[in-house]
Amino acid sequence: MKQRETDKTVLKARFDQLQQKINEEAAYDYNSETVLRNLREFRNVFGELTPQEKTETMRCLLKQINALPGKLVLEVYELADFKRGSQNHPDWLSDMDSNHE
């Protein structure tokens, strides 16, 4: 009987962990209308960038590109992947900005 109580406690703890993981994953689900609206806005802004700015923007957005037969698989950075201090692109800022020249 004691073993069953222990098993029950272990299963309950595991259930709670899995439930938390499901809730966290659900937070990453995207509303398709929001995604489409943002893609349209991005397309408009992206079209106005210089070639150098476009290249830099793609470097900041794309984590990895895999070329497969007949298709490209793009892995994009999640918002949580970006860290304060420009970790994804260390040479964004020079030692001095234009205010100090």
pTM above 0.75, yes or no: no
Separation CA 19–CA 73 (nearest Å):
30
* Segment 15-27, tens digit of pLDDT: 889 888 887 776 6
* Segment 38-77, tens digit of pLDDT: 888 888 888 899 999 999 988 888 888 999 999 988 888 8
Separation CA 77–CA 88 (nearest Å):
10
Sorted by where each begins, the domain ranges of the chain are: 2-81
Closest to 78 in 3D by CA, of 40, 18, 30 = 30
Alpha helices (H) in 1-101, listed in sequence order: 2-27, 32-47, 51-61
**C-beta separation of 89 from 60 below 8 A:** yes
